[in-house]
Every structure is written in C-alpha cells, then in structure tokens.
C-alpha cells in the first residue's frame, strides 16, 4: 500500500497570497494514499527540508510530493532531501503550484486554489507509480573547445589550459586578438590595449595545452556533455603555415589592394595579408574573394617571391574532427550600422564616422599613425562632436537596450583626442552618463575637467554641411534650447550588436538566443555563464554587451565551470531516459528518425522461441539520450518507455482528475 | 492610357493654380487621364485634426468612399497636406475597420469604406507609377545648366510608417525626377526642414525665420531655384521672400517652382502656358541658366605608375 507524504509550500507570499494553502492541505488529506500532509512557509529552507526528512522516516513514506515552485527551480534540492532520508530521490514528484497556479491566476483565488489541489492530486497519483531510478555514469572527454579568439576566448583558453586541460581554440579570422586588438587605449586606466593583449596572444600560441586553429569555423556539434564531437572547417589559407616564416615579402609584392577591415576600411590591405603586425599566428593568408590568381588565374607574384615555396594555390578547405567534453562560446560583437540615421548624413558626409573608425585613427599603429584626420580632406580636426546612443536605447531606429560601454569609450575618445590634438575641443551629446564601475565615474570626471570636454545633455536632431564644416544641431536640455556646434568631425558611438552568425551558431550548437541574437544564459542571475545545454558556456559579448573587465571575469568563470565539469573521470547523468522493451519492438525504426540527438541505433537479437533467424530492434545509447520522449510518442507498439514518465505514471495522473 | 483619380484640394483652385494646370499638361504628355472625385470635400487640413480625431478622419473618409466608386484604384493628390490627411486616414481606417464603419454610419451618407483605393502624392505617382525612364523619354528640351534645390517639406515622406515612400530625412525622388529632365539637383541638407507652414498667417515671424533658413541653405548649395511639390511651401518661400530679404538684408532672388512646371518646360510646353506671372520672385534669371553648361573639371592625369599597378591587377 502506497504511503504518500505531501508538503505544501507558501513560498512566502508568492503562493499563499493567491492560493488558500490550508484549504489545499485539507483537500489533499482526503486522498486515501496520502498519509501525511503539511504546509510550511519556505519548504526549500533548511527547516523545511528537515520536515521532509523527518516525515519520511517517521511515517514510513513510499513517495513524496512537494507542492511548490517549478521543478526547474528546486527539484534537485528536494531530491537531495529524499536521499538524505535514505529514500530513492526519484520517488519525488513536484507539483508546480506557483508558476502554474498562483502567479498566473492572481485575480481568481478560488480557481487558483482548486487548480493547486488538482495539480497535487495528479502528482500524488503519479508518484504512486514512480520507480526507483539510479543516476547513470558516463565517461568524460577532457578537452575543451573554445569558439572565438578575442579576449574572452583567449582568457578562457589560457585559464583552462593552465589547469592542464587540453583546449582547442577556433578563430574565424587569420589571427586571434578580436576587437581588443583594434583598440588604442582602454578605459579607465588608459592602458595600451595591444601592450596588455599581445602577451596573452603569444601565450596562447605557445601554450603546450592549447591547440590554436585560426581561419576556421565550427561546422557541426554532436553528442552530449562530456562527450561532444565537433567538426571544424579549416578554411584554405593557400599558405603552408608549417614552412612559412612570416617574412612578409608576399604581402609587400601583392598588387591587389582592397579595403582593410581591421582598420575599419580607412586604408587598404593586400589580397595576401596578415590582419595586423602583432598577429598570432603571424602567417599571412590569401583572401580568395580578391586574389586575382584564384579568381582569374593571373598574377601569382606571391608564389614567385616566396623563398620557402609556401604558397599553394591548390589548397582546399579541410574538415577536421575533435572529441571534446565542453564548449566555451566567445564569438564577440559587431557594430550596429548607423545608416538609418539619415538626418546625421550617414553615408553622405565623409566626416561623420563611427567610434571604431575614430579608435583606429587614434591608434599609434592605425592607418593615420595615431593622428585623427577628416576622411574628406585629411585635415586634422579641431572641433569634434561625439554623439552617444547611436542605435542603442532607440526603439524607433535601432535597439532597445543600453550598449553599456559607449559612455566610457566616448569619455576615453575625448581624452585621447585632447592627447593627440592639443588645441582641439570635444563636444559630447548624451542622454545619460552611465559610468558604473571601478574608477569609471572618476574617468568621466577626468574627461570633463582635465580634458574640458563639453558635455551637452540632449539628442542631435540634424547634421548639415555649411562650407567645409558640419553643423550639428541638437538640444541642450539643461538650458532648454536648441544649440548648433560647428564641427570638423562627428563621431557616432554606435551600439554593440551580437555577431551576425550567432543565430546560425546557436542552432548548430543546440542552444538558445534572444531576439537580438545574443546567446542565452541558463539563468540571468544565478547561472550567467552556463547555457541551457549542459557543457556549453558563454563568455563575453556573445551573451550581452560588456567591457573588457567583465568579459575577462566571465571568461575565467567559464574556465572554472569547465574545470569543475572535468574534475572527475566520469560524470553523473539523469536516469530519466528512454528504454526499449525489445519483446514489443517490431524494428520499424521510426524512433531512429525522430530522435533529435541521434541516440537510437539498431541491434540484431535472436528471434527467440527456438527460431534461428535474427531480428532488428531499437537500442538507446544511454549517454546520448536526453529524455525528450519523442521516440515514446512515435512508437506504434508502445515498446519504448521514458523512465520517470512511464505509461502507468501518466495514466495515473490523467485518471486522478 | 493610364487612369488616375484626382483630388485637387482647395489650393489647386486658388493659390497653387499653376501646380494644377501644369500637372494636367504633364500628365497629358505622359498619357494619364485624370478623373476628379465627384463632389469632393475639404480634407480638413490642420483645422480638423486639432479639433477632434474622428472628425479629422470623417472628412477624408468621405472622399475615399467617393473615390472607391470610381474604376481606378489610385488617387493622386496634388497638395501635400491633403495627401497627408487622406493617407493617414486610409492607413488608420484600414487598420480599424470597425472605426471606419462607425464614422461612415454616422456621417458619410454615400456608403461604406472598403479599403480598395491607394493614396499617392503626385510626386510619388510620377516617381513610382510613371517612372524615370518614361519621364526622360518625353523630354524635348533638356534643362541642363539649371541647378535646383529640391525641397520636400515636412509632409510628403512623413511619417515613414504611414507614407512608406522615399526617405523621411533625405528623400531623393524629386532630385531624380529633375535630373531626368536634365537639371542638376544640388546637395541640399534642408530638404525636409519646416517652412513654417500655416504660421504664415498667424505668426509670420516664424515663417520669415524658418523659410529664410531654407532659402539661405539653398543659395549656399549653389541652386538657381528651389523645386517643391507642396502649395504651402511654395507660397511661403515665394510670397514671403521679399519680406525675408528685407529682414535679413540679403538678396536671394530664388524662384520657387513646382516640379510639374519644370517637367512641362522640359516636355516642350511654351513658357506662356506655365503660369510664371503668378510667381512673386521672377523666374527669368534662374531659367536663363538653361543651356549654360559648365565645362567638366579636367580629369586628373594618372601617373604612369598608377596605370601600371592597375593593369597588373587586371
């Protein structure tokens, strides 16, 4: 005879304000299998869990129902309480009377109370048919994949590798370094970005535990936490890295000139190129879209000048495979295209530029050797207007969110402008100054006092040309008047957006992303680096806009998570997976087709009853099965059952209401 | 032969008569037959929509209901303000058919609204339905030599989600039309600034200031004339120009043409038919530039090295 214990939680006021908990308890006590029922303010608290433990022992319970919040929240907590009391943890059922009742029926208390009683009755009925289940152990491949070689990927890779765990780092461009390599100096300390980044890049290349695969992309990810298989496409570089010395003769002689994306297209690069002088690896690649030899079969100068004979025009893309246990995604960010701001003359006025273009110009290694100039005539600007929130916080033209770093980098740009052009003046149009962070407010003050940048609170309504000057018309909300500033150069602080291939990547990794294309963390507060898929973690701007300190912190957090995952030789796995009853299986293999995880294979078994022939039946790979239940639904002969959701359990639930 | 339902609006019969008459000349050349909405009424202009919202819908809605009874499915509207009111009403009534029914039941005697007609400004009609190629093909007297600033005003392309035509900030449709006629459209940043509109009567100072800035910027852009597609813009920039000049002490002398006047001119109509005497600012000065083509700046000779580098690439 089943002896079920039911524990109803108030969840403070979350449940109790809308569900009449004593009434629910009274109703529950009427169920004949319920031998014990009690309510408590916070079931998840230590005393609450104690009540469960004691009741199991004292009332010789055979299963337990906790009526509280979503099982996603505290199922693990209560399972542990069961095992602490010597009971199999899978004899627990959670009735979700918070998300499924009190929160969604706040205006109908009576109905909410009745629904809570129904949910409990179902859980009780189900729990009676619960079976004892045991966690599955699966082996772990101790190698991590890091996607993206910006500062986030670099930091994560180094931290994981320092724990002597092998890392494969995949970078789409010819060199690691990412956006940080494009920056001149960094806020709030004005450290030279290259000087603090390049040593880390070199560390990556020389680390014995890091395998760096530049100029490559992830194609496919199969498997499950601890046992992933990844396919990586190594794009043809047409340069044999093993013999190339990085002398640069090929780049020098290449006659093709195309806009240099590393310098925001301000200057030109060659078709055979290395993105920047400190590139790691410092080997050139041939841009197949622009190389005349590859396009038309003419030229080949690079091959003629290469003393080592490293140029190979016949090289093709190569797909390689790696077995890995965990993934860190760090694909970084892109900049929002300010084209919709037609009133600012974007695209018409050469001297209206984006902040990353300005950043490249003030960079000592940039296209103008560290001196900002007007793209229209090459003159050094005196009056520079910076406009913040371009695309960010703008629902009409751009995106709703705050891009987070623009207030700080604009303050930095004002300071850098003053350092490079002493008699210049910076005007900054802003909506708010968001300078939360260590040393950040002080840094903005420095821009306002030391640099004497003019901060104007208000939006710019129009930019028009008068002679050689750009007239910036905006509102100064603090004096309540329209102001016009004569500018030589206008810099737009464009918003951060996720890298454009994020949705595609998310789909191939099997993780989710938000409406903007940022990859979604498992919980916005308590699980900020994990994704909903076990073993896949997020670092940097792929998850949300972030500055360098936050990015590095998150990358290190990812590394800690990966190291934690790899701490044992095997990994525990939920036992709630499908099982095939081969007596019933007809071998139709419909389940093989619907399984989204490729977890079902077939095997040959003896026919039985003295028949010599073999027959085909389905077989579940325990390690791969995620317990989604698709195979259960498709199986015509009801040969597959999902542990924890067996037919008797489900039927019990249905019958009880 | 294309057919088009025509809503002239009140100004076409008064202040902007030259717009109306040249439009008809132009459309004749372009083989478009106009059919007036029978018994059309006032669009409500500024007055109605500052009173009550539903009344502001009711006036244009009656015109739409009447237009639906005709064969053609597009209404072409000369005046920018009429266009605005009719288009806003169309878009909103299409979104809220129950409101349209309520208004027609109560106020419009002529029947129900079904949403079967489209509303276009004449500029939009010429640009989208006629097309630049056709316009170019009808030019018999190129306007080459004439430099104009195309001024769209605030209503023709705004709000973006209502008009769904050209850019709300830097439109180019009129620029492309005048260039099809052979004229040159200058780079003019004030094409969508406010001219002061109906403040012309109640607070003339405002118009002198705002229209003055437009004239100033047009002059700065090197234009001989301004081209418009809105009767109120035309009258503010033209009629108030002497006052603006008196106030600022500057001499602009910029005639304000309707784009249809320039089209008619390029299509070969004699000047006498283009109603130039209606203009306050004389047009002869600007028109005298037609035919005076500036020599093209000499092409910079490429250095031998650059030529070599290019040929190597090819």
| Tens digit of each residue's pLDDT (9 = 90 or more) over A539-557 | 999 999 999 999 999 999 9
Query: How many Å apart are CA B65 and CA B86, to the nearest integer?
Result: 11
Q: Which of residues 136-175 of B touch A (CB under 8 A)?
A: 167-170
Query: What are residue A547's phi and psi, to 5 degrees?
Result: -90, 180
Low-confidence ranges of chain A (pLDDT < 70): none
A596 touches chain B (CB under 8 A): no
| A113 within domain boundaries | yes
Asked if the model's pLDDT at residue B302 lies above 60, the reply is no
A32 touches chain B (CB under 8 A): no
* Whether residues A339 and A484 fall in one domain: yes
Q: Note whether B187 contacts A292, CB cutoff 8 Å.
A: no
Query: How many Å apart are CA A97 and CA A117, to the nearest integer?
Result: 9
Q: What is the pLDDT of residue A528?
A: 94
Q: Note whether A464 contacts B190, CB cutoff 8 Å.
A: yes
**Residue pointed to by tokens 């296209």:** A367
A343 touches chain B (CB under 8 A): yes
* Whether residues A542 and A586 fall in one domain: no
Q: What is the CATH number of the domain that holds A180?
A: 3.50.50.60
* pLDDT tens profile B253-265: 999 999 999 999 9
A256 touches chain B (CB under 8 A): yes
Going by C-alpha positions, the residue among B249, B278, B312, B261 that lies closest to residue B148 is: B261
Here the tokens at position A332 are 């970084």
What is the nearest CA distance from B166 to chain A, expressed in angstroms?
A: 12
How far are the Cα atoms of A118, A569, B172 from residue A534, in angstroms, in the given order? 33, 17, 53
A345 vs B contacts (CB less than 8 Å): 170, 189
Enumerate the domain spans of chain B: 2-123, 140-287
* Whether residues A522 and A536 fall in one domain: yes
Asked if the model's pLDDT at residue B309 lies above 60, the reply is no
Asked if the model's pLDDT at residue B313 lies above 80, the reply is no
Partner residue opposite A255 with nearest CB, options B168, B220, B312 = B312
Q: What is the CATH number of the domain that holds A270?
A: 3.30.70
| A362 within domain boundaries | yes
Where b means 16+ CB within 10 Å and e means fewer, A56-84 reads beeeebbbbbbbbbebebbbebbbebbee
What is the nearest CA distance from B314 to chain A, expressed in angstroms?
A: 8
Q: Note whether A342 contacts B167, CB cutoff 8 Å.
A: yes
How far are the Cα atoms of A257, A501, B59, B79 from residue B8, in angstroms, in the given order? 56, 51, 15, 7
B191 vs A contacts (CB less than 8 Å): none
Q: Note whether A348 contacts B167, CB cutoff 8 Å.
A: no
Going by C-alpha positions, the residue among A226, A201, A336 that lies closest to residue A276 is: A201
| A137 within domain boundaries | no
B79: which residues sit within 8 A by CB, 6+ positions away? B8, B9, B10, B11, B12, B16, B43, B230, B231, B232
A49: which residues sit within 8 A by CB, 6+ positions away? A43, A77, A78, A80, A81, A84
* Whether residues A44 and A90 fall in one domain: yes
| A138 within domain boundaries | no
Partner residue opposite A292 with nearest CB, options B169, B217, B313 = B313
- CA terminus-to-terminus distance, chain B: 49
Partner residue opposite B169 with nearest CB, options A292, A299, A343 = A343
CB A586 within 8 A of CB A635: no
Q: Which spans in A165-257 are helix H? A: 193-206, 249-253
Question: pLDDT averaged over chain A?
Answer: 95
| A470 within domain boundaries | yes
* Whether residues A87 and A55 fall in one domain: yes
For A270, nearest residue in chain B (alpha carbons): B313
Asked if the model's pLDDT at residue B304 lies above 60, the reply is no
| A293 within domain boundaries | yes
* Whether residues A344 and A491 fall in one domain: yes
How far are the Cα atoms of A326, A410, A445, A462, A497 from residue A433, in angstroms, in the given order? 39, 10, 11, 22, 20
B217 touches chain A (CB under 8 A): yes
Partner residue opposite A256 with nearest CB, options B189, B193, B313 = B313
**Residue pointed to by tokens 């090295």:** B305
Residue where a domain stops, chosen among A497, A527, A555: A497
A345 touches chain B (CB under 8 A): yes
Q: What is the pLDDT of residue A568?
A: 87
A255 vs B contacts (CB less than 8 Å): 309, 312-313
Going by C-alpha positions, the residue among A429, A426, A437 that lies closest to residue A475 is: A429
| A136 within domain boundaries | no
For A290, nearest residue in chain B (alpha carbons): B313
A467 vs B contacts (CB less than 8 Å): 220
Query: How many Å apart are CA A189 and CA A408, to the nearest integer?
Result: 11
A299 touches chain B (CB under 8 A): yes
Query: How many Å apart are CA A492 and CA A357, to the nearest integer?
Result: 10
Q: What is the pLDDT of residue B297?
A: 62
Residue where a domain stops, chosen among A497, A526, A542: A497
Partner residue opposite B189 with nearest CB, options A256, A292, A464 = A464
Please provide the DSSP assignment of A593-606 as one string: HH-TT--EEEEEEE
* Whether residues A612 and A646 fall in one domain: yes
Please give the sequence-ordered ranges of beta strands (E in DSSP) within B24-107, or none if there are none.
32-36, 74-77
* pLDDT tens profile B69-120: 998 999 999 999 999 999 999 999 999 999 999 999 998 889 999 999 999 9
* pLDDT tens profile A361-414: 999 989 999 999 999 999 999 999 999 999 999 998 999 999 999 999 999 999
Burial (CB count <10 Å: 0-12, 13-18, 19+), residue B59: buried
* Whether residues A65 and A181 fall in one domain: no
CB B32 within 8 A of CB B2: yes
Partner residue opposite B220 with nearest CB, options A255, A292, A466 = A466
Q: Note whether B313 contacts A255, CB cutoff 8 Å.
A: yes
Residues above pLDDT 70, as percent of chain A: 100
Here the tokens at position B30 are 């372009």
Going by C-alpha positions, the residue among B120, B180, B128, B185 that lies closest to residue B151 is: B185
B308 touches chain A (CB under 8 A): no
B209 touches chain A (CB under 8 A): no
Going by C-alpha positions, the residue among B8, B3, B6, B5 that lies closest to residue B32 is: B3
Number of domains forming the structure of chain A: 5
A151 touches chain B (CB under 8 A): no
Q: Which of B189, B213, B305, B306 to mutate to test the interface with A (most CBs of A within 10 A)?
A: B189
Q: Note whether A348 contacts B187, CB cutoff 8 Å.
A: yes
| Domain boundaries, position A368 | 334-497
* Whether residues A108 and A208 fall in one domain: no
Please provide the DSSP assignment of A247-290 as one string: --HHHHH---EEE-GGGTTSSEEESEE-SSTT-BS---EE-TTT
* Whether residues A491 and A434 fall in one domain: yes
Preceding omega of B104 cis (within 30 degrees of 0): no
Partner residue opposite B189 with nearest CB, options A292, A465, A467 = A465
Query: What are residue A343's phi and psi, to 5 degrees?
Result: -70, -15
For A253, nearest residue in chain B (alpha carbons): B309
CB B226 within 8 A of CB B235: no
| A454-457/A425-430 β-pairing | parallel
What is the nearest CA distance from B2 to chain A, expressed in angstroms?
A: 35
Q: Note whether A342 contacts B170, CB cutoff 8 Å.
A: yes
| A406 within domain boundaries | yes
Question: pLDDT averaged over chain B?
Answer: 91
Q: Which of B169, B192, B305 to mutate to test the interface with A (most CBs of A within 10 A)?
A: B169
What is the nearest CA distance from B151 to chain A, expressed in angstroms?
A: 15
Q: Note whether B170 contacts A348, CB cutoff 8 Å.
A: yes
CB A181 within 8 A of CB A278: yes
Cβ contacts from A onto B, under 8 A: 29
Q: Note whether B220 contacts A343, CB cutoff 8 Å.
A: no
Q: Answer yes or no: CATH 3.40.50.11810 is held by domain B140-287.
A: yes
* Whether residues A633 and A643 fall in one domain: yes
Task: Find the farthest-apart pair of alpha carbons in chain B and give their distance in angstroms, rounded.
Answer: 80
Query: How many Å apart are CA B215 and CA B226, to the nearest integer?
Result: 8
Q: Which spans in A475-522 are helix H? A: 502-509
**Residue pointed to by tokens 């249809």:** B260
Q: What is the pLDDT of residue B312?
A: 47
What is the nearest CA distance from A347 to chain B, expressed in angstroms?
A: 11
Residue where a domain stops, chosen among A446, A472, A497: A497
- Fold of the domain spanning B2-123: Glutathione S-transferase Yfyf (Class Pi); Chain A, domain 2 (1.20.1050)
């Amino acid at each position: 005879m089943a002896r079920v214990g039911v524990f109803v939680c108030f969840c403070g006021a979350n449940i109790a304000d809308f569900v009449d908990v004593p009434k629910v308890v009274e109703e529950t006590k009427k169920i004949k299998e319920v031998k014990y029922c009690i309510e408590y303010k916070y079931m998840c608290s230590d005393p609450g869990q104690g009540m469960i433990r004691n009741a199991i022992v004292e009332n010789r319970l055979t299963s337990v129902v906790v009526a509280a919040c979503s099982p996603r929240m505290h199922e693990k907590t209560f399972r542990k309480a069961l095992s602490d009391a010597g009971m199999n943890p899978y004899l627990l059922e959670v009735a979700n009377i918070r998300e499924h009742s009190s929160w969604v029926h706040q205006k109908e208390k009576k109905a909410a109370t009745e629904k809570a009683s129904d949910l409990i009755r179902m859980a009780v009925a189900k729990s009676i048919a619960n079976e004892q289940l045991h966690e599955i152990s699966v082996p772990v491949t101790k190698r991590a994949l890091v996607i993206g070689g910006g500062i986030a990927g670099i930091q994560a890779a180094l931290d994981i590798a320092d724990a002597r765990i092998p890392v494969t780092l995949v970078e789409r461009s010819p060199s690691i370094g990412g956006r940080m390599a494009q920056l001149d100096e960094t806020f709030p300390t004005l450290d030279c970005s290259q000087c603090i980044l390049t040593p880390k890049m070199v560390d990556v290349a020389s680390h014995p535990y890091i395998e760096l695969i530049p100029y490559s992309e992830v194609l496919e990810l199969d498997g499950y936490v601890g046992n992933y298989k990844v396919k990586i496409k190594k794009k043809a570089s047409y340069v044999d890295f093993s013999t190339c010395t990085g002398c640069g003769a090929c780049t020098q002689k290449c006659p093709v000139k195309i806009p240099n994306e590393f310098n925001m297209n301000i200057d030109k690069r060659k078709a055979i190129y290395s993105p920047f002088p400190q590139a790691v690896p410092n080997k050139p690649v041939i841009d197949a879209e622009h190389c005349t030899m590859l396009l038309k079969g003419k030229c080949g100068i690079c091959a003629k000048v290469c003393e080592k004979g490293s140029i190979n025009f016949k090289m093709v893309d190569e797909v390689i495979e790696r077995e890995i246990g965990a993934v860190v995604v760090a694909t970084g960010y892109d900049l929002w295209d300010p084209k919709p701001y037609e009133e600012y003359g974007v695209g018409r006025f050469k001297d209206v530029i984006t902040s990353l273009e300005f950043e490249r110009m003030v960079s000592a290694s940039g296209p103008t050797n560290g001196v900002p100039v007007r793209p229209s005539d090459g003159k050094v600007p005196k009056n520079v207007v910076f406009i913040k929130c371009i695309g960010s916080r703008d629902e009409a033209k751009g995106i709703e969110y705050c891009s987070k770093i623009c207030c700080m980098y604009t303050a930095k740009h004002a300071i850098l402008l003053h350092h490079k052009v002493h008699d210049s003046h910076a005007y900054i149009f802003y909506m708010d100054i968001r300078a939360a962070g260590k040393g950040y407010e002080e840094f903005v003050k420095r821009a306002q006092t030391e640099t004497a940048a003019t901060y104007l609170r208000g939006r710019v309504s129009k930019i028009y040309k008068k002679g050689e000057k750009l007239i910036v018309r905006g509102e100064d909300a603090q004096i309540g008047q329209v102001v016009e500033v004569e500018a030589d150069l206008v810099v737009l602080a464009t918003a951060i957006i996720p890298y454009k291939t994020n949705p595609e990547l998310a789909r191939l990794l099997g993780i989710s992303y938000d409406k903007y294309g940022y990859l979604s963390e498992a919980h916005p507060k308590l699980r900020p680096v994990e994704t909903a898929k076990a073993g896949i973690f997020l670092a940097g701007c792929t998850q949300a806009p972030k500055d360098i300190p936050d990015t590095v912190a998150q990358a290190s957090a990812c590394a800690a998570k990966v190291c934690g995952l790899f701490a044992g030789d095997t990994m525990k796995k939920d036992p709630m997976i499908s099982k095939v009853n081969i007596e019933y299986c007809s071998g139709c293999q419909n389940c093989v087709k619907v399984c989204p995880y490729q977890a079902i294979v077939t095997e040959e078994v003896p026919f039985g009853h003295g028949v010599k022939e073999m027959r085909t039946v389905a077989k579940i790979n325990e390690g791969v099965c995620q317990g989604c239940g698709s195979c259960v639904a498709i199986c015509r002969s009801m040969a597959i059952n999902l542990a924890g959701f067996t037919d008797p359990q489900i039927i019990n639930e249905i019958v009880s209401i | 032969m294309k057919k088009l339902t025509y809503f002239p609006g009140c100004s076409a019969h008064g202040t902007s008569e030259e717009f109306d008459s040249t439009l008809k000349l132009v459309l004749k050349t372009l083989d478009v037959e106009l059919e007036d909405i029978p018994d059309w009424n006032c669009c409500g202009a500024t007055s109605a929509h500052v009173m009550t919202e539903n009344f502001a819908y009711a006036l244009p809605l009656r015109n739409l209901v009447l237009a639906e009874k005709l064969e053609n499915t597009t209404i072409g509207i000369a005046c920018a303000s009429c266009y605005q009111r009719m288009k806003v009403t169309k878009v909103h009534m299409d979104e809220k058919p129950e409101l349209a029914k309520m208004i027609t039941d109560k106020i419009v005697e002529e029947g129900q609204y079904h949403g079967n007609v489209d509303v276009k400004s004449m500029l939009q009609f010429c640009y989208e339905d006629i097309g630049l190629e056709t316009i170019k093909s009808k030019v018999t007297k190129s306007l080459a030599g004439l430099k104009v600033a195309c001024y769209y005003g605030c209503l023709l392309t705004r709000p973006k989600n209502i008009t769904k035509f050209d850019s709300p900030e830097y439109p180019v449709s009129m620029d492309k039309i005048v260039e099809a006629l052979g004229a040159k459209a200058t780079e003019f940043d004030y094409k969508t600034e406010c001219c002061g509109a109906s403040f012309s009567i109640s607070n003339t100072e405002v118009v002198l200031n705002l229209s003055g800035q437009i004239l100033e910027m047009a002059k700065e852009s090197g234009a001989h004339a301004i081209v418009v597609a809105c009767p109120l813009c035309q009258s503010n920039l033209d009629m108030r120009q002497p006052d603006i000049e008196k106030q600022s002490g500057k001499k602009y002398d910029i005639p304000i043409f309707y784009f249809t006047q320039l089209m008619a001119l390029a299509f070969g109509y004699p000047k006498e038919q283009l109603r130039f005497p209606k203009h306050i600012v004389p047009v002869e000065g600007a028109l005298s530039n037609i035919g005076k083509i500036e020599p093209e700046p000499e092409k910079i000779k490429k250095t031998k090295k650059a030529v070599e580098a290019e040929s190597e690439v090819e």
